[in-house]
Structure formats: C-alpha cells, structure tokens
Structure 1
Amino acid sequence: MSDPHAPLRDDVRLLGELLGRSIALQEGPELLELVEEIRGLSKSARAGDHEAFERLTARLVSLSADEIRIVARAFSHFLALANIAEQHHRVRRRAERARSGERPGRGAITDGLERLQDAGLALSAIRDQILDTRVELVLTAHPTEVNRRTLIQKHNAIAALLEDHDWRGDSPRERASIEAQLAAEISSIWLTDEILRTRPTPVEEANGGLLVFESTLWEAIPKRMRALDELLRAGGAEGLPLDAAPLVFGSWMGGDRDGNPNVTPSVTRRVCALHRWLAADLYWNDLDRLRAGLAAEPCSDALRARVGEGREPYRMLLKDVRSRMDRTREWARALVHGEESGVTDPYLDPAEVIEPLELIRSSLNEVGAEDVARGELTDILRRLAVFGLTLARIDLRQESSRHSDVLAAVTQHLGLGDYTAWDSAERLAFLRRELQGRRPLVPRIMEASEEVRDVLDTLEVAREQGPGSLGAYVISMARGAADVLAVELLQREAGISPPLRVVPLFETRDDLEHAPVAIAELLDDPDYRARNGDEIEVMIGYSDSAKDAGLFTASWSLYRAQEAMARAARERGARLTLFHGRGGSVGRGGGPSHRAILAQPPGSVQSRLRLTEQGEVIQAKYGLPGLAERNWDRALTAVLEASSTEGVAPKSAWIDLMNRMSEVACDQYRGVVRGEADFVPYFRSCTPESELGSMNIGSRPARRKSGGGVESLRAIPWIFAWTQTRLLLPSWLGVGAALEVGLQAENRETLDEMRREWPYFQTLLSLVEMVIAKAEPQIHAHYERSLVPEGLHPLGASLRGSLARTKGLLLELLGRDTLLGEHAVLRRSIDVRNPYVDPLNLLQAELLRRTRGGDEGLEDALIITINGVAAGMRNTG
C-alpha cells in the first residue's frame, strides 16, 4: 500500500531545495553552506547527539549580525514553506478520498449527513435543521498574524502552483515549467522585506482581514452550498432555498475598541465603507461575467415588461444592475477616503439586488433554461444570502465601565446622582424605568469627557449604517444584567433602529460563575423579553479566564457556566446563542473546532453558534479554497450533530472529581503566577515579552496599562511570549496538580471512565497532550542560561520539573510511553519542524542577550526569529 503522505514529503523537499537555490543565488554559496551546516547540527542534536547541540549553540553564538539575519531568514522561510505544503496536502488528501470513493474524513459534509441519518434522522428533518441553523465565524484582528499581506499572497500563489504540480506534473515539460514558477515565487519572497515597518492602522488591519473573502471565501461558499444542495436532492429531500445561510461571517476589525484607542468612530465608519467597497467590486465582477454569458433572447412577459422592447433582454436588465453596482463601488470608495462621490442611489439593502436577479432566474426557468439559472446566477444569489452587501457584519465591542461612565455623566448633569456610585439594584431600577419611558434621557448639549464623547459618537456612527453593516454590540468585562440594559438604553437614545443585539462577554472565573444569574435576571424581565423575544446571546472569553485561573480550571469553569446558562435559558423558554471567544493557542481556547463544538455541554448548542477566528488562524483555516471548504464543512456538521444528538452529560461522580481537580489546578497555577515573588521578573527576563511590542503586528497596544504585573498584560502576548521560548507554560501549568488528584487510587476508576466516555474530557486531554508534545524544556533552559539572572534560575528549574511531572502523569493516565502515539501525522509534523525551529530559538536567545547588552542593529534579525518560531509552532496566540 502506497504511503499517502509521501507527496507531502516530496513537496517539502522540493520547496526546500528551491529555497536553498535562491539563497545561493542571492547571498552566495558560502552562506547556503552555513545554513546547511546549522541544519545538519540541529538534526543531529534532535537525534540525541548532545555534543551536536553544544556545537550548534556555539556556532550560532559565533555568527556575525549579517550572518544571523540570513540564517534566521532561511529557517523562517523554510517553516513558512512547510506550512504551505502541509495545508496543500490536507486539501489534496480530501480530494483523493472523494475521488476514490473512500469514506470522507470526520467533519466532511457527507460524513455529517450520514452520521445524522445513522442516528435516526430523516434527510428531510436534517434539511429543516440546516435551515434553522445559524453559525457565525467572526474574524478578529488580534495581533498573532505575523505575515505581511504581500507574503500571504505569495504563499497562496505557491499553494496554487503545488496544485498545478499535482495535476500537470506528469509531463516533464509541464513539471519543469511549474517548478520554474515556484522558484521565481520563492526568489521573490527572499527579496521581499518580511518585516512590517510600521504598525498597521485599524483600517489597514481590516483591509488585510478582507483578503480571505476575496481570495477564497467568495468562491468556496457557493461551491459548498451547491454541494450540500445536491446531496439533499440526491437523497430525495428538497434542495436548499437560495436565501439559505446556515453559516455566515462577522468581524471585529474596525469595531473592537476595547483597549484600542486607535479604533475611533471615524475608523468604524471607514471600515464599514471598506466592506461595502470590496463587496461591490466582487459583485460587479460577477455581474459582468453573468451579463457576458446571458445573450439569450427568449424571456418571460414579466422581464419583457421591465426592460421594454429590444434585443438581449437579460443583458439589458443586468446592464442597469451592473451600472448601479459600479456607482455603489464608487460611493463606498469615496466614503473610505473621506471624499464626496455625488452618488445618490447606492445599493444599501441586498433585497435591491436580489429582486432583479430573481426576475431573471424566474424568466430563465419559465423559458426552459433551468440549467442556465442554476449556474453563475444561483451562485450570486447564494452569495447575497451569505455575504449581503458587506461581506461580514462588524461587531462593536467596548468595555462595560465606559458605558457606566456615560450614564454617570448624564445622571450628574441632570442632578440625579452618580450612576457609578449606585449598587446593582439601583442601577437596574433606573435602567428599567428609563427603558419603559419615552422621554429622551441624554441631553443634546452636555459637557462630557473625551472618553464619554467617544462612546456617544460611536453610537451615532452605528445609527448611520445601512442594513447588514453591523452585527452585535459586545460588552467586555460584563458583570451582570445592568451592563446589558445600559447599552440597550444608550442605543435607544442614539436612535439606532433596529438596535444591535447586546451581548455581554463574561471573561474571568468569578464573572463566569455569575453569568447564569445575569441570564436569569434578563429573561425574567418582561420588558427585556418584549424587546428581544425568546433569543439571548452571551459571549464567553477563553483568554482572560485562562490567564486568570489556568487552562484546566478555566476550561471547567467555562463548561459549567455554559451548562448553567443553557439551563437558565431553557427553563425560561428562550434559546441561548453562545459566542465563543477562542484564540489560536490552546491557552486561549484553541484547538480543532469540530471536536470542540462536539465537546460542548449537551443542550448548549441549539442550532446557534458564534465563534471567533483570530490572527494566524484565519489564514491557516481559510487561506486556501480547499481549506475554506473543509472548515466550512467541519463547523456546520459539528453544529448540526451537536444540536441533533443528545451528547454525553457528565455523571455526578465526574463533576465531583472535576471540581476537586479544578481547585487544586487553580491553586497551583495562581501559586506560581501570582504567589511566586520572582515570577514576573523571571517572565520578563526569560521571554521576549517586552520586545514583542516592537513587532508591528497589530493596532492594539499589548498592555492594558503601562507597567504592572501579569494582570496588566493582554492574554495574547502572554501566550505568545511563552510559546516563543517553547515552555508553553500557560497551557499546562496546573494540569499536573489536577492529574495527581485524579490518579489517586480512590479516584482512578472514575478518571479512567471520564477518559473513555466523556468527549469534553477527551478533548481537554488531547489538547494538553499536543501542548506538552510541543514543549521543549531544553530550549527553554537555554533562554534561562542566556538571559535570566542566576538568582532566578531555581524558579525555572522548578517550572521545568513541573512540566516533566505533568508529562509523566499524563502518560500514566493515557497508558502510553510516548505522547501523540495515536496521532502519527501530528507527531511527524512536529518532528519535521523541530530541527528548523530549534536554531531560531537559539538565535533568538542570543539576539536578546546582545540587544539587552546594548548592541544595536539587531532588531530586524530578532523580529525574523519571532516570525519564524511563530510559523514553526503554528498556533501562537
């Protein structure tokens, strides 16, 4: 039997050889020899040669600044190319399975439909479930995508050439041509400055985030909708109506102002226009193609009545639609640039575009051209259902205290007292009274601070936006029902109609425990129900809860909070939508989305789910058309399955043991992060945390406030810094203490039962296993020796000892000798990367030592190593 992964190794080898050739041509053969020498030493060290590790370290320390830069670039680019090859291989394997008739992988749409039918659901019932489903993937600009947009586009071009290589590479001439094009792309990458020289503005961030719509999603989504429609029809069920949109997109880019003073009301206005500009441009291209292919003469009486006499009636109508879309494009472009366009009739509502297209579709069906109607025209109508005229709805996000400050300014101006000084009951009573009344509350003329004016101006921008521009209003650091009612009141005062959904975000362990009470308070309020119906949405934050209490405790707190919130909503006859604020790393809720969704508490996924896709995760999941299709399938099938099957509810013994394990895990985590006096100095000296600020990878400051300890640091750089040193501490610290309790003799039977039967616990263990498999204590110890004052070394030794104990306990529970023994592909992926990531880590430690010692001119090389380690570790933040 042939090895299905041999083509991946061939691709990696080919790309590596072409990169080496480019280095030799651009930098000289001596530098390629240096790179190869370092690669050889690194591979030997990985094979267990301790002397090779010492020689490798000494060789890297001896390099000049220019040599360091070139070596860092070589290994960093190789890892990026390996990532491209892996992503392409996933797409290739999916296509091979489909062609061979092999059962599709877990999460494919065909696999999902089969599983639901095996569970007893009729295909017609599954269709109804699909129509009731609403999954929203919310793209965020969190600063973990370290690649420039220019490089992302070049990487996509290489992936497309690898696909050509698969299909046309049998011919020597074709193969040579494709490999020449690959060589040219890789040489171009080598000649490109990979460093972002200026910090992106929020508008530039948003523009970068929209790349994925243009490059993959625009084609992938109607293709998947068509495939799903055909599967339903082939099984004897009705197909999907053209307005079906079980999976849609949102965005925080340009709307998330929590802790980012650069996201101003003006920025939000411009980004809303930017979305419409790109959407109009994409639709214009579609309409132009459709018009070119629709030269038919026969048409319905209704279409003839619309266009009047003349030849090519379809083209006549499409000319008008296309012209108005062109004006819409110009109108939106002018808004982005703060110019006047003079356009008076831009398309604002998708219904305005759908109506003439439906007229054309109806006419084609009437004259017997159904096959024509099912082509490009149907794809455009499906895009309008999913993307609207804005591609993705932008959420607004602001911290809860900012709304309290606005209301305090109002109440003090009106002589009613200080809103911020009132307790929860007083605030709720005031808000309910004002929401029941009709009189305006906020004076038109009122002295206000800059921060208060910013909130009011943001609401004014929200009022101006057309249909489909904005999604939800998310309140970070929400504490209770009053935070929700405050934003409802402020929206009413601003005249926002219809108002945005108000979504509280519960982030810390304490707030998560209180969240079900807040849900009950809202749903028990008849006026709230009158305004919002029987739907309620809550966001749960993985990042801050994990930074607050550690991964194990945060995961369990989130699980219990979801259970309790779902129960509170169900008991009150309401449907809860949970919005999961997950990052790319395990320490911020990352991991395979399909498994994570299926591991949610039974009854918590009721055909509704929102999920953030952050930073580098966007490119990893949606950067190639095949990947976008695969992840669309996986998200949709997981929600369908979780909504339609009972799931595994935890037994009381499991809950009791998890509660005890969670407590000791939290104690161990906080005992180190909060209780260890040397921890913050150790963290600052051992990791590149302070240097990360020099990387222009996001518009948001890395800190909530200057100075301070870990609590002042945002969750993303906290995770990112530990990932760079390969200790990955936030993703496992505390787990060892939990496993020690679970593996005690009196608990072992229960723990083994949880591991065998409980998807939630299986998923948690799988993520921890992956993290520990990626951790490299030897590399971390090198950072310590190079950078940390000797007096702090005992803390580092203690942390590495804790990691070793955690690994041993995990293996004992799993009953295995090695990690990832049941995940051979992932194990090999890590093993292939390690010899290329290790030199980057060693170089980074040396660069940090030199720059902190006063050496200048090394910043570029340092940033390149940070980029390279991020590429090698994949899920960075």
Structure 2
Amino acid sequence: MKLPDQLHQEIQNLGAILGQTIAKDQGVETLTKIETIRELGKTSRDDEEAFKQLFNQFNNSSNHELLVLSRAFAKFLNLANIAEQEYANTVEGEELTGKEKTREEFFDKLKDSSLSKEQIQKAINALSIDLVLTAHPTEVSRRTMIQKFNEINHCLRGKPFGSSVPSVSRRLEDLITQSWHSNEIRSQRPTPIDEAKWGFAVIEQTLWNAVPRFIKELKSQVKEHADIELPENFSPVKFSSWMGGDRDGNPFVTSDVTESVLLLARWEAADLFIRDIKSLIGELSMTTANEELKAATQNSEEPYRHILKQLRQQLRDTRAELEAKVTTGQWNESNVMHDNQQLLEPLLLCYRSLVECGMDSVANGKLMDTLIRARCFGIFLVKLDIRQHSERHSQVIEEITQSLGLGSYQQWGEEHKQEFLVKELSSNRPLIPLSWQPSDDVREVLDTLKLIARQNPEALGIYIISMASEVSDVLAVQLLLKACGLTFKLPIAPLFETLDDLNNAEQVIQKLFANVDYRDYMDGHQYVMVGYSDSAKDAGVLSAAWAQYQAQENLVKLCRQEDIKLTLFHGRGGTIGRGGGPAHSAILSQPPGSLAGGFRVTEQGETIRLKFGTTRVAQKSLALYANAILEAMILPPPEPKAEWREVMHKLSDLACEHYRDYVKSNDQFVTYFRQATPEQELGRLPLGSRPSKRKKDNSIESLRAIPWIFAWAQNRLVLPAWLGATQAIQELYEQGAKEPLLAMKEHWPFFTTRLDMLEMVFVKADPAISAIYEEILVEDALKPIGESLRTQLKNDLKFILEFTGKESLMQNEPWNKASIRLRASYLAPLHLMQVVLLQRLREMPEVDNQHVITQAMMITIAGIAAGIRNTG
C-alpha cells in the first residue's frame, strides 16, 4: 500500500514551505544540497554507492553545516508526522487505519452477544481509565516548539486535505518560519517543575476540551447502539501524574519540589475553572429557577449568574492565595478551596434547576462540560503519585534502629524485619526519637512523607515502591507514613519490576493480605504496579511479557478469592521493549479479569504528544482506550489452554537464556553497547530531569531501562524489543511444537500480539544502518558482537515470515507499514550525520566548538525519535 495522494501532496506542500524558508535563511545552494541528500536518502536503502555518497557528503561537511542539515531533516520528519496524524483523523484516514472499524466492531459484538442490557450497563458504569502522565527522560523538544506544531495541526484541519488555500498557506509559512528560526532544543536540562508545567500545558491545550467531548460522544454511542442512558455523573476518566512526585533515582525531586508542583497544579486548576465560569456567567442569564436555587440565591433576579459569580470569586481568591504561597511562601489558607465538593455543589445546583425547569439542552451544554471537568480534574487538576525506591525506606528504618540501639535493620532477615514492622505498627509510642539527627538523605524521605500527611487525599494518587520484592518493603512504607502523621489511607503499590519479582508477586501479596494491620489499612482495595521496562531489560521482551501475564493472572485470582478489589497499574513506555505498542491489542491481550478494578497506565512524554497532542487526537485516543477496555471487560479473551501454557513456559525459558547469553554472559557486551550507540552522549545531554543511571557503575543493571532502549533505537538495531524471542519460537517449532504454536498464533490474543509487535520491530530495525555505527564507532575486537546480532536479526526476520505465513512484514497493517517506509529515506541522512557527529564528539577534547556538535547531536536524536516513533 502507498499512502494516499492527498497525504503525499500535503507532505510535499509542507516540505516546499520549509524549503523556501531554508533558502531565504541559508541560501539556494544549501537548499540544493538538502535536495540532493534527500534524493540519495531515497535510494540509499538499496544502493550501496548512494549510501557511501551520503556518508562522504556528511563526513566532508563542517560542524555548522551538519547543524543546518540535521535541523532541515528533523523539521521535515516532524512536519510529515503532523500531516500523517491529521490525515489519520479524517473520515478517509479513519477508514484506512481501521480506527472507525474498530469502534463499529465493538458495538456489533455487543449486539451479537448474549449479554443482557443490565450486564452491559454494569460494565460501562464500572469503566475506569486512569492515565498517569510522566516526563520523558529522552525528550529534547522545547514546549514552545510543540505548541507551534500544534498550531500547524490546526491549520491543516481548516482546509481540504492536500489542497492549497492561500490564507492557510500564509499561516503555515508563518509558523514554519517561526519554527526554523527558533531553537528547537532546550539548552538546559529541565527541572522537575519544568516537566510538571509541561504536563499542565497538555491538560490546558488539549485534554481540557477533549475529555468532555469524549464522554459526551461515548454516552451518545452507548445510547444509540445499546439503548442505555448513562447517568449525569458518568465520569470514567481521570489523570494522575508522576511529574514532581517520582523521586526514584532523581535527586532533583525533593519535598520542596513536590510541594511546589502540588501548589502549581491547584493554581492551574483554579485558573482554568475561572475561564469556564466566566463563560457560563455570560451564557446562563435565565431567570427561571427551581425552589432550591431560588433559596440559595435569596430570589436573585439572575440566580444562575448569582451562584456562579460567588464560585468565580472563590476561585479567584484561591488562585491569588496559591500564587502568594508559591512566590512568597505565605498565604491565608482559609481563603483557599480545599475540597472538590466546593466546586461541584454550585455547578450541580445550577444543573438540577435547569433540568427541572425544562432547559435540558442548556444543562447539557457548556455547564455539563464544566461538570465533567470538575469530576475529571477538579480543584487539584491531577492526582500526584509519589514514587520512591525501596532501598530509601530501608535506609530510614536502618538509621532509626541504629539510633535506638536495636542493631542493623538492613542486616536482618525478612522474618525479623516483618516482626519489627508489625510490632511498631501496633504500638502507640512514636517511632522517631525526638533528639535524633538523621542523615540528609533520610531527612529528605521523612520530609516528603510529612508533606504527604498534610495534603488533602484528593490531591494524591498512590505511593509506589520501586524494586519492591518483599512484604517488608510495603510494611515499611505503611509504618513510616504513620510515623509522619498520615491520618488517611493513601494506597501503597509495590512495583514488581524484575523477572524474579514478577514471578514472586502473588506470594508477596498473599503474605501481605495475611497481615491484619495492613489489611485494615488497604481497606479492601490493592494497587499493584507491573514493571515493563526493567523486566524486559533483565530477561528479554518475551520472557518479561509472559512473567507479566502470569503475575497479573495470579494476582487477579488471589484478590478474587480474598474479596479484594485489585487495580493493576501498567508501567508502560512508548516502545515495544517497554510494553508499548498499539493500545487496543495490548489491552485485549491481558489476562481475563485483569481490568475489573480499573485500567491504570503510564503515558510518557513522547506518547503524550502522539496520543494527546491535539484535542481531536486526544478525544479519539480516549475513545480507543474506552472501547478496548469495555471489550476486554464485557467480552474477555479466552483463557489459554494448558498446552499453550506449557509451550509459553518453555519459550520463556529459552528466550531468557538466549537474551542473557548475549547481554549478560559476554563481559564485553556493555563496552560494545556504549561504543555502538549514543548511550554515553545521552547521559550528558540536557534531556529529562532524571539522571540516566541509578548507580555510578558500568553494569547493565545500573542503567535505567529507558536510555538502554532509547540508545538501541537510535542505531536501529532495536535490540531489547526482539532479542531472544523469535529464536526461542523457532527452536520449539523445529523441535516438534509446530501445532500448538500455530494454534496459539490463531486463537490466543496474548501470543498474537507478541508476534505483531515483533513484526513492527523488524520493520523499524535496519541492520545496514546499525552496521555503519559499528564500522565507524566500534573497535575491531568488538565488531563480531554486532555481526552476530545482525545475523540473528536476519534469521529471525526470515523465520517470522515463514511462521506467520506472510509474504512481507506487517502485511495486515498496510497503513502503518507505509507510514514507516515513508520516513525511512529521511531517517538515513540523520543516522549518518549522527555517526559523524559521534565520531567527532568522541575524538575531540571537551573544548572548542563542542557546543555546535552537541546541538547538532541533540537534533539528530530528536529527529530519529520523530522518524521511528515509540522510542522511549
């Protein structure tokens, strides 16, 4: 399949405007050079001579020329992405991508099912989507540039696709010129507060309008297709955040930072609701009201405006006090709104009156939009999660036990730790000695917990414990929260990340439920976070996926037996190596029953832009989530057969063995990785606020999973997303497991999804590109590692086609395949520029001219990420 002519024309139009802009700034000669490179890029995939010409072109260019060229190709890829995104949301685009078909198929399945109307309504009423916004540690684009891209989106929406409208073309020229003459890359590393403000901007610019539209559309579809009238207070979606709350491995997220982010979120919420209320005051001029509203407004002539003006003043006072608190540290807390009911009650008062007085259309217009926002965002805007590493809690208790003369807590066995924690939880005496002076690290943990204790529970999400592996990891947090004055029950979620921790998750949670104090504390609702990144880094993508599936399945069964509500929290990233990929298939591949307690998932910087970058895209992304979750709840996937489980166990063991043979058994592998990818340079660039390593050593274990995966994507080997998986399938297939494997491929969504993901990875991988990185950047002694990996990749690709019976990769997804192919010719120049820049950066001292190289390097990183997508 080729992409539609209208899309090609739109991309050409945008490219032409960009070319004119570059010619005006850099001269026609530079534009001619760019066009030559573009043509070579198109043929370089199949023409070795063109490939060499391209490399020589860049090798003979100055650093400044590389900066200009990298900017040109990165800009073009971003413009192509914008055009493609907009086209995908036209009527024609939805037909081609299958999005509309997916929605229609779900309601058709409902009609064909034997489910009663009551069963369907019960499931829809239970729909719960909690999207957790997180910063992207490898995001380099400035917020101002993202805003310009959003403006270009709006321009394309204002005309027939692929056409040229003079007024729109002038505006596009304006925006592209602004973009070209602006620094697209931040010059300083963002602070956690900067990242939080970026998250707030996403809410303001897109989600604020997308959420009401999504909920209203869903209500309408349910009414049309299932004849079910959903209640006025139907509110299935909410947003949480890690920005300013995730301190695992990030020393820059302090208690002061967290407090500032909480205050700024409330300020942003007040400001947004003031705008809403101002609009409502302008509209609700009616004089007819019910007795309840009349009494509340002392029979005011314009009762709706009367009540809304009071609310507006409360919001203004709140905003003013929050601003004073942020800027001076002082405020009059009595003037601040503290409870979301203070926002909801006057709005509901107006709503009830309008409905009772026959003005339903008015009640369900802008007022309903504001009510939806009040329930979704409220006066706290987002619920802030707090995440901390289990070692930090252990360190706090270690210092306490040492100061009390009780010995070393960290040296105790698990049973001894639990005995101590249980005893202290039931004790009324203070845990923390009055005269005790903790270390700075311990004081910071305690200051954070004390801050949490002072908050309204509505402002907080859950407390996540990274690298949790034992019952004591959870009880330690419960005890420390109690010691710091917590009076409400903040949910505590262990994060099971490694293969061993996932395999032991059920046992740990079962022991936790046996603890009377904890069982009372968790109040019938347990959150468990499933780690995708570290488990894949630890064991490979296939073994990790099976461990995640079994852990979820076992936890669902356990909680059902214990009559406890379970909410599974999926720590996914954008890339397949971190659990990413198409949301619909990912949700439907989860174990049956795993969504009964709601769906909670991380959305990272890059995926936030792709899924929620514009209001229309955000609305459709929310609808996609809702349809997939409802389908999984109402029409759950089949349980895997016993034979399939046995095969998966064998596949998992084999895949893990093959993965670790490469990654962990070869003591030269880390050195190869660091030479063949820009991993070392990523750590020095001003990307996210968080350091790229947890610990200062050279082991793979010390690396964060995100830069590990991101670096492999940059050199197009994309290793973490495929290594070991297909090799294991091929071995079992050839050893006699052909029949069950083929049955799994046809009938088990979990396994089918894994195969689809592998195909997508293989399309994005490019052995020729990775070979160039190796040839130029890797010492000769290490090159056999890369040669072996590329040979394995080619073997895997050949087998996956044989096994799936397809002539080509992604045969059933022609749109996505064509989209990837479109960007390939523009990616090749960026990769070759990056290789040249890496070589120069590594050879030169950290002095003269490095700034230009560093800037060009960041642009190639951002451009490659834009071209590949799903990179972090």
Q: Normalised by the shorter chain, which TM-score bucket? A: over 0.9
Question: 1:331–1:346: 8 Å Cα contact kept in structure 2?
Answer: yes
Q: What does 1:687-702 correspond to in 2, within 5 Å? A: 687-702=677-692
C-alpha displacement of 1:633:
1.2
Residue 36 in structure 1 maps to residue 62 in structure 2? no
2:538 alignment partner in structure 1? 548
Which of residues 788, 797, 804 is equivalent to 2:787? 797
* TM-score normalised by L of structure 2: 0.96
1:9 alignment partner in structure 2? 8
1:363 alignment partner in structure 2? 353
Residue 412 in structure 1 maps to residue 410 in structure 2? no
1:166 alignment partner in structure 2? 160
Amino acid at match of 2:780: E
Residue 433 in structure 1 maps to residue 427 in structure 2? no
C-alpha displacement of 1:743:
1.8
Distance 1:94 1:623 in 2: 21
1:291 alignment partner in structure 2? 281
Question: 2:140–2:858: 8 Å Cα contact kept in structure 1?
Answer: no
Amino acid at match of 1:143: P
Distance 2:397 2:691 in 1: 27
1:724 alignment partner in structure 2? 714
Residue 262 in structure 1 maps to residue 252 in structure 2? yes
**Relative to structure 1, is the Cα distance of residues 113 and 94 closer, same or farther in structure 2, using a 3 angstrom cutoff?**
farther
Question: 1:242–1:382: 8 Å Cα contact kept in structure 2?
Answer: no
For residue 344 of structure 1, give the secondary structure of its aligned residue in structure 2. Answer: helix
2:216 alignment partner in structure 1? 226
**Relative to structure 1, is the Cα distance of residues 233 and 685 closer, same or farther in structure 2, using a 3 angstrom cutoff?**
closer
Question: Residues 188-227 of structure 1: CA distance to partner in whole angstroms, max 9, x if unpaired?
Answer: 1000111211111100110012221111111111111112
Question: 1:247–1:636: 8 Å Cα contact kept in structure 2?
Answer: no
**Relative to structure 1, is the Cα distance of residues 496 and 114 closer, same or farther in structure 2, using a 3 angstrom cutoff?**
farther
**Relative to structure 1, is the Cα distance of residues 4 and 710 closer, same or farther in structure 2, using a 3 angstrom cutoff?**
closer
1:499 alignment partner in structure 2? 489
**Relative to structure 1, is the Cα distance of residues 650 and 841 closer, same or farther in structure 2, using a 3 angstrom cutoff?**
same
Moved more, 585-594 or 151-160: 585-594
Distance 1:3 1:787 in 2: 36
For residue 544 of structure 2, give the secondary structure of its aligned residue in structure 1. Answer: helix
Which of residues 849, 863, 875 is equivalent to 2:870? 875
Distance 1:377 1:318 in 2: 11
**What root-mean-square deviation, in Å, do the aligned CA atoms of Structure 1 and Structure 2 show?**
2.0
Distance 2:568 2:101 in 1: 23
Q: What does 1:269-418 correspond to in 2, within 5 Å? A: 269-342=259-332, 344-418=334-408
Amino acid at match of 1:141: A
Distance 1:478 1:502 in 2: 11
Amino acid at match of 1:159: N
For residue 754 of structure 2, give the secondary structure of its aligned residue in structure 1. Answer: helix
1:861 alignment partner in structure 2? 856
Moved more, 355-364 or 251-260: 355-364
Distance 1:651 1:69 in 2: 56
Which of residues 576, 588, 592 is equivalent to 2:578? 588
Distance 1:235 1:556 in 2: 36
For residue 766 of structure 1, give the secondary structure of its aligned residue in structure 2. Answer: helix
C-alpha displacement of 1:343:
5.8
Question: 1:124–1:237: 8 Å Cα contact kept in structure 2?
Answer: no
Which of residues 493, 514, 522 is equivalent to 1:532? 522
Question: 1:127–1:237: 8 Å Cα contact kept in structure 2?
Answer: no
Amino acid at match of 1:356: P
Moved more, 541-550 or 493-502: 493-502
For residue 504 of structure 2, give the secondary structure of its aligned residue in structure 1. Answer: helix
Question: 1:135–1:607: 8 Å Cα contact kept in structure 2?
Answer: no
Residue 186 in structure 1 maps to residue 176 in structure 2? yes
Question: 1:404–1:419: 8 Å Cα contact kept in structure 2?
Answer: yes
Distance 1:242 1:384 in 2: 13
Q: What does 1:12-91 correspond to in 2, within 5 Å? A: 12-46=11-45, 48-91=46-89
Question: Residues 712-736 of structure 1: CA distance to partner in whole angstroms, max 9, x if unpaired?
Answer: 1111111111111011111111123
Which of residues 452, 461, 470 is equivalent to 2:451? 461
| Percentage of matched positions with identical amino acids | 42
**Relative to structure 1, is the Cα distance of residues 263 and 370 closer, same or farther in structure 2, using a 3 angstrom cutoff?**
same
Which of residues 201, 206, 216 is equivalent to 2:206? 216
Distance 1:273 1:461 in 2: 12
For residue 743 of structure 1, give the secondary structure of its aligned residue in structure 2. Answer: helix
Question: Residues 821-863 of structure 1: CA distance to partner in whole angstroms, max 9, x if unpaired?
Answer: 2211111111110110000000110111112111733211111
Distance 1:127 1:5 in 2: 40
**Relative to structure 1, is the Cα distance of residues 399 and 338 closer, same or farther in structure 2, using a 3 angstrom cutoff?**
farther
Question: 2:94–2:100: 8 Å Cα contact kept in structure 1?
Answer: no
Question: 1:104–1:111: 8 Å Cα contact kept in structure 2?
Answer: no
Distance 1:854 1:354 in 2: 61
Question: 2:133–2:242: 8 Å Cα contact kept in structure 1?
Answer: yes
C-alpha displacement of 1:164:
0.3
**Relative to structure 1, is the Cα distance of residues 524 and 117 closer, same or farther in structure 2, using a 3 angstrom cutoff?**
farther
Which of residues 564, 574, 579 is equivalent to 2:564? 574
C-alpha displacement of 1:242:
3.3
Distance 2:446 2:273 in 1: 34
Distance 2:93 2:232 in 1: 26
Amino acid at match of 1:86: E
C-alpha displacement of 1:146:
2.5
Unaligned runs of 5+ in 2: none
**Relative to structure 1, is the Cα distance of residues 103 and 839 closer, same or farther in structure 2, using a 3 angstrom cutoff?**
closer
Distance 1:272 1:140 in 2: 15
For residue 141 of structure 2, give the secondary structure of its aligned residue in structure 1. Answer: coil
Question: Residues 326-361 of structure 1: CA distance to partner in whole angstroms, max 9, x if unpaired?
Answer: 111122223333443446321121101111111112
Residue 117 in structure 1 maps to residue 111 in structure 2? yes
Question: Residues 785-838 of structure 1: CA distance to partner in whole angstroms, max 9, x if unpaired?
Answer: 111111211111111111111111211111223211221111111111011000
Moved more, 571-580 or 388-397: 571-580
Question: 2:87–2:93: 8 Å Cα contact kept in structure 1?
Answer: no
Residues paired across the two proteins, number: 867
C-alpha displacement of 1:607:
4.3
Moved more, 755-764 or 674-683: 674-683
C-alpha displacement of 1:96:
6.5
Distance 1:184 1:791 in 2: 52
Amino acid at match of 2:640: P
For residue 737 of structure 2, give the secondary structure of its aligned residue in structure 1. Answer: helix
Question: Residues 609-668 of structure 1: CA distance to partner in whole angstroms, max 9, x if unpaired?
Answer: 211111201110011112111111121222222222342211122111211121121111
C-alpha displacement of 1:779:
0.8
Question: 1:607–1:643: 8 Å Cα contact kept in structure 2?
Answer: no
For residue 447 of structure 1, give the secondary structure of its aligned residue in structure 2. Answer: coil
Distance 2:474 2:762 in 1: 40
Which of residues 138, 144, 151 is equivalent to 1:144? 138
Question: 1:244–1:385: 8 Å Cα contact kept in structure 2?
Answer: no
Distance 1:371 1:93 in 2: 28
* TM-score normalised by L of structure 1: 0.96
Question: Residues 592-620 of structure 1: CA distance to partner in whole angstroms, max 9, x if unpaired?
Answer: 11111110112222141211111201110
C-alpha displacement of 1:527:
3.3
1:127 alignment partner in structure 2? 121
2:195 alignment partner in structure 1? 205
C-alpha displacement of 1:104:
6.2
Distance 2:479 2:127 in 1: 30
1:834 alignment partner in structure 2? 824
Distance 1:761 1:628 in 2: 29
Question: 1:550–1:730: 8 Å Cα contact kept in structure 2?
Answer: yes
Distance 2:205 2:41 in 1: 37
Amino acid at match of 1:496: L
Question: 2:135–2:195: 8 Å Cα contact kept in structure 1?
Answer: yes
C-alpha displacement of 1:4:
8.3
For residue 165 of structure 1, give the secondary structure of its aligned residue in structure 2. Answer: coil
1:821 alignment partner in structure 2? 811
For residue 121 of structure 1, give the secondary structure of its aligned residue in structure 2. Answer: coil
For residue 232 of structure 2, give the secondary structure of its aligned residue in structure 1. Answer: coil
Amino acid at match of 1:78: F
Question: 1:242–1:385: 8 Å Cα contact kept in structure 2?
Answer: no
Moved more, 271-280 or 857-866: 857-866
Moved more, 764-773 or 136-145: 136-145
Question: 1:724–1:869: 8 Å Cα contact kept in structure 2?
Answer: yes
**Relative to structure 1, is the Cα distance of residues 96 and 143 closer, same or farther in structure 2, using a 3 angstrom cutoff?**
closer
